[in-house]
Amino acid sequence: MELLVASAIGVMTAGGIYLVLRLRTFPVILGISLLTYAVNVFLFSSGRLTIGAPPVLSDDVTTYTDPLPQALVLTAIVISFGMTAVAVMIGLGAFLGSDDDHIDDQPEPSETEGQP
């Protein structure tokens, strides 16, 4: 169980970082989505992994899972969803406006003209 969760987080983070380094809008947004999935699973596991245990108090249960990480993950999911939507819209606007989806600054024309 621990190995499965840990390797899932690791693989998603590695894939996310690789995509983020592509420096074009679409792969970068995909990469950031992968990174947020990784961090959500990581947050979920920060309250220790417990299988089949309820998070709320009841009389006939003795083992519980930590409820706080679940609340944190919920907040993180909502925020990252909204942020991704904003990033997609701004990225689309920038792409439609300049017909170029590179994220890094392109060299200014004046810089290349002066060089032989």
Partner 1 sequence: MTHWIVAPIILPALLAPLIVLAARYHIGIQRVFSVAGVVALIGLAAGLAWQVSDGSVIYYRLGDWAAPFGIVIVGDRLSTLMILLTSVLALFVLLYAIGSGWDDRGRHFHALFQFQLMGILGAFLTGDLFNLFVFFEVLLIASYGLMIHAGGNARLRAGIQYVLFNLIGSTLFLFALGAIYAETGTLNMADLAERVRLIAPEETVGIRVAAVLLLLVFAIKAALVPLHFWLPSSYAEAPAPVAALFAIMTKVGAYAIIRVYTMIFPPDLEVTSGLHDVWLLPAALVSLAIGMVGVLAARKLDRLVAFSVIGSMGMVMVAISLFSPAGIAAALYYIVHSTFAGAVLFLVSDLVRTGRGNVDLTPQAPMIGTVVTAGMFFAGAIAMAGLPPLSGFLGKLLVLDAAFDNDMMVWVWAIVLSSSLISILGFARAGSIVFWKAHSVEPPEEPVPDTRNPATMSYVAVGGLFTLLTLHTVFAGQVHGYTTTIAAQLFAPDAYVSTVLDTPGKLSKPQEGY
| Three-class secondary structure of residue 102 per DSSP | strand
d(CA 95, CA 55): 45
By CB under 8 A, name the one of 86, 109, 115, 116 that touches partner 1. Answer: 86
Binding test (CB under 8 A) with partner 1, winner from 2, 59, 104, 113? 104
Residue type, 62: T
- Residue 6 lies near partner 1 (rule: CB under 8 A): no
> Is 83 one of the binding residues for partner 1 (CB under 8 A)?
yes
Quick check: 98 binds partner 1 (CB under 8 A)?
A: yes
In sequence order, the 6+-apart residues with CB closer than 8 A to the CB of 40 are 73, 76, 77, 80
| Of the residues 20, 26, 27, 55, which one makes contact with partner 1 according to CB under 8 A | 20
Q: Which two tokens stand for residue 40?
A: 């959500």
Considering the complex, what minimum distance in angstroms separates the CB of residue 50 from partner 1? 14
The reply to whether 50 sits near partner 1 by the rule CB under 8 A is no
**Which CB, 15 or 91, lies closer to partner 1?**
91
For 20-34, give the DSSP string.
Answer: HTT-BHHHHHHHHHH
Binding residue count for partner 1, defined by CB under 8 A = 36
